[in-house]
Structure 1
Amino acid sequence: MVAGERLKDRYAVDHLPLSHQGMGEVWPARDTVLDRQVIVKLTASSVMDAALAKRFRREARLTARLAHPGVPAVYDFGQHKGRFYMVMQRIEGIDLADLIAEHDPLPVSWVAAIGAQISSVLIAARQIRLVHRDIKPSNAMLERSGAVKVLDFGLAAIHGDDRYSRITQSGDSLGTVGYMAPEQIEGSPTDHRTDLYGLGATLFDLLTGRPPFDGPTPTATVWHQLQTSPPRPAALRPEVPAVIDDLVHALMARHPQDRPPSAAAVYEVLAPLARNLPPIPGVVSDQPDAIRAYAAMVGQVPLPAHHETRDSTTAEYDDPDLATRQAEARAQQLATTGNPRAAARQWRELADRRASQFGEQDAAVADYRLRAIRLHAEIGEHSRALRQLHSLLQDRIAVDGAGHPTVQAIQDEIAKLTQGGLDRSER
């Protein structure tokens, strides 16, 4: 890339890249169509192959699926001169690794505020079964508003979905030594508690100005992670409150089952400590800020009286199909008790929810949509049913291909419904 070069005749890159990464470069750029500043992440041409392309596309899709204020928005994805690129929201701020280097020691209240914000991102990630797998100081940024953004979903996975659970590039690191959980090091299955380990290591770094495990070689660091008890930040900084010292120690437990049960539980510990935040000159603005004003009002919105963040999040993750089974039962009951339109609406809601979690390509999405369409046909709304069938057919051909059994099933439904209409017209 050269300064001023345009991608897609739209994104004009600036003078120098912000960083060079193992699989590419990150450039500041301007979206000339919408006249806004963006970030363009490009794959490296020297290592471009099918596996890298698949991984890069995977990162873009996973980042885009995690809709949360603490995650940069993905605006576009494409290819330029044989290299894939991703266009993202530009974040104005400092990454936590630089923040630690420039402002050690950080006030404990700021550590709690940063940790609570990362926890809130992990709560959202767990709702779609996403595991980041590379939580560390250099993968989070503190904006001038005081907001934190979690970055780099290149190693992320979605629990239970093989399309988003494997890194196929040979020789790839599966995390960062000193921050990745023991189960990552050992190649064991990962889940939301893997990210809690990375959060604990990040909090230790923020509190003490040094990584929790920092041997003379990567091998020595890994040995300490696997063979020694997790360190306590209060041993290096005695003024650290016992509650946060215990939390960090628990987050870095050797075994996942010994860590806190959820990011929501971590948030509940950290949030009360994030009070009376002192200024961080040159990092967080002390001027009136629109984002802080907006967040302050959102924070005043009351939760339902019965709301318990930890329990509801844990239950949903431990049995993620429970809500689906209950919704399916409601739809079937509505249909059998003479309310087919409400049943069809329930099936469509199920399809939309499933599509938001797993994408339109998920087989259950087509099944739910077909169930809703059949109900419309049963009550005589044949034109509506046919329109929806033809729309579903085009979607599934794009996803599955013309010869897929799901596509064939939809074509059979269209044929039956069309023939039924002809029979009625003849009578």
Structure 2
Amino acid sequence: MAEAKTTETTEDDSMVDEYKLINLIADGTTTQIWEVKEEGATTSFVMKRLLPEPMKNPEIVATMKLEAKVAGALDHPNLIYLHKFVKSKQHVYLLMDYFRAPNLRSQLSSDRLSVQSRLRKLIESTAMALGHMHEKGWVHKDIKPENILISKSSEVKVIDFGLAVPVAKGLGKLFGKPKTVQGTRSYIAPETIKKLPLGPGADVYSLGITIFEVLTGKTPFHGENPKEVLLKHIGERPVAPSSINPNVAPEFDEFVLKMLAKKPEDRFQSMEEVVSSLRNVKMFKAEISEIIAQNKAKADQEEKESMQEKRLDSRADARLSQLVKDDPKLAAELIAQRKANTKKKPTPEPPKEKKPQPAPQQQQPPQPMPGGYPPQYQQPMYPPQPMPPGQPMPGQPMMYPPQYQGQPMPPQGYPPQGYPQQPYPPQQQPQQPPPQQQQPPQPQPGQPQPGQPAAPPPQPPPAAAPQSQAPPKPEQPPAPQQPAAQQSDDSKKQEKNDDDLPFMDELPDVI
């Protein structure tokens, strides 16, 4: 009969003994978890099956056998129920109840707030299951989110008894020292690391680490290597969960930190004490159900706004599609305009454009004479052309004599006939006005016609001559056309005349 089963299994890999493999639930390095059904039955079971290579390792097989021994001694609604253990040349597996719920790890990754809303029930159920194990003389020793199953209705099952050890009692506390350190480093108790005899306190500590992770999203101790994490379990005090999650109540901080005490005697002494103390503790400042409702309302509002935007976009696209059908030419123009507007989006100015510009004095031509020209003569004598600062007008190197300062400027045609048209030497600054005999007679105001050359006016009266011939003040010397280098030196010595500043905008037109 046994040979028939072996032949059947060899021929059909979907069968293990009388059980048909339905669905692969989990795949590990040494075992696979399958949903199976017995031939001709409808009830599903879970099969924890060793892979072919690990079956050759006696230590792995012994661990599977120990798990079967522990599970067979337990009978609690919050512990997974074992139906049978099979060990043969072809297969080594455990057959257990199929509890259709994900483990705590997957739920923490997807919706931690939902787990927090069921945390009280989770702690009570897990603690009562472990309390039953302790009464039967076993320490689980590997409590972590992967080994706790919890349904949406808060029904809990504790699984995986492969690392369980007997509770140290009597002489076992003195001589029952473990040979090796076994456990998951993020959840392992300090006495396990020190290879001390283990009691219920080891499971209290591991459950406290699990609660801390549910509250904060991470375990309390981290390091760059496994040894650093283990040393922190032994010597570093964990932070309060409320320092990471402000919604944790202060009294629940004390509850969790007591479970994480370094010495077993400073923790809760039994799981029954954990359950009784939890009933009088406020866990959160704000109810988790209210936070979930607020988050849901916010998410619904964001989804509603997003749908409205999509609806508006779809309506616009529909109108555009209809427009394309009715008038393709106009639609093409609108699309081109939209693309052009997209390309013309303003871009931030580069930082270099915000730097202050250099002083305008070095770029401006010489300022007009004090007092300026009369309004009727503020028109260009030559066609406006851009000239470099400090260079004389081509073909007309003229100056405005001091005796004509403040007098009306003749119309186009200035200078009058007979006035010498010789500029100053390029490298010298005239300090005195030109000789009096070279000054042309001053024209009478109002007689010259605009646009015509003016005739030489009669000699001004003697009373006015001294005033017009008086040398100019040092602060306001004549401003003839001169080289740029000499002009920059003189401009440093001169003070700006505020009355001349309004003519700066008109200065290019005069040139």
User: What is the TM-score with the length of structure 1 in the denominator?
Assistant: 0.59
2:249 to 225, 237, 241: 241
Q: Contact between 1:181 and 1:198, CA under 8 Å: does it hold in 2?
A: yes
AA in 1 matched with 2:225: T
AA in 1 matched with 2:15: R
Tell me the alpha carbon deviations over residues 57-103 of structure 1, each in whole angstroms, 9 at most, x when there is no partner: 11012012111111111112113553310001111112111111111
Q: Contact between 2:22 and 2:34, CA under 8 Å: does it hold in 1?
A: yes
Q: Quick one: distance in 2 between partners of 1:258 and 1:167?
A: 22
In the alignment, does 2:190 pair up with 1:188? no
**Aligned residue number for residue 224 of structure 2:** 216
In the alignment, does 2:109 pair up with 1:101? yes
In the alignment, does 2:175 pair up with 1:155? no
Q: Quick one: distance in 2 between partners of 1:236 and 1:177?
A: 22
Q: 1:359-398 counterparts in 2 under 5 A?
A: none
**Aligned residue number for residue 90 of structure 2:** 82
Q: Contact between 2:177 and 2:195, CA under 8 Å: does it hold in 1?
A: no
**Shift in Å at residue 245 of structure 1?**
1.2
SS at match of 2:84: strand
**Aligned residue number for residue 44 of structure 1:** 51
Closer/same/farther in 2, CA of residues 129 and 243 from structure 1, 3 Å limit: farther
**Shift in Å at residue 204 of structure 1?**
0.2
1:139 to 137, 147, 159: 147
Tell me the alpha carbon deviations over residues 227-261 of structure 1, each in whole angstroms, 9 at most, x when there is no partner: 21123211111221222211111111111111111
Q: 1:19-418 counterparts in 2 under 5 A?
A: 19-32=26-39, 34-48=41-55, 49-79=57-87, 81-106=89-114, 108-160=116-168, 174-271=182-279, 278=289
Q: Quick one: distance in 2 between partners of 1:217 and 1:263?
A: 32
Segments of structure 2 that go 5 or more residues without pairing to the other structure are: 1-8, 293-511
Where has structure 1 moved over 4 Å in runs of 4 or more? 1-4, 106-109, 165-168, 272-281
Q: Contact between 1:109 and 1:274, CA under 8 Å: does it hold in 2?
A: no
**Shift in Å at residue 280 of structure 1?**
12
Q: Contact between 1:128 and 1:158, CA under 8 Å: does it hold in 2?
A: no
Q: Quick one: distance in 1 between partners of 2:98 and 2:289?
A: 26
Q: Contact between 1:38 and 1:88, CA under 8 Å: does it hold in 2?
A: yes
**Shift in Å at residue 270 of structure 1?**
2.5
In the alignment, does 2:16 pair up with 1:7? yes
Q: Quick one: distance in 2 between partners of 1:154 and 1:278?
A: 37
SS at match of 1:180: coil
Q: Contact between 1:232 and 1:249, CA under 8 Å: does it hold in 2?
A: yes
AA in 1 matched with 2:48: K
Q: Quick one: distance in 1 between partners of 2:103 and 2:290?
A: 17
AA in 2 matched with 1:241: A
Closer/same/farther in 2, CA of residues 269 and 106 from structure 1, 3 Å limit: farther
Q: Quick one: distance in 1 between partners of 2:274 and 2:100?
A: 27
AA in 1 matched with 2:182: L
Closer/same/farther in 2, CA of residues 63 and 226 from structure 1, 3 Å limit: same
**Shift in Å at residue 199 of structure 1?**
0.4
AA in 2 matched with 1:147: E
**Shift in Å at residue 44 of structure 1?**
2.7
Q: Tell which has more relative contact order, 1 or 2 (C-alpha 8 A, sep 6+).
A: 1
AA in 1 matched with 2:32: E
Segments of structure 1 that go 5 or more residues without pairing to the other structure are: 282-427
Q: Quick one: distance in 2 between partners of 1:98 and 1:229?
A: 28
Q: Quick one: distance in 1 between partners of 2:97 and 2:117?
A: 28
SS at match of 1:120: helix
**Shift in Å at residue 274 of structure 1?**
8.5
SS at match of 1:14: strand
Q: Quick one: distance in 2 between partners of 1:46 and 1:4?
A: 16
Larger radius of gyration, structure 1 or 2? 2
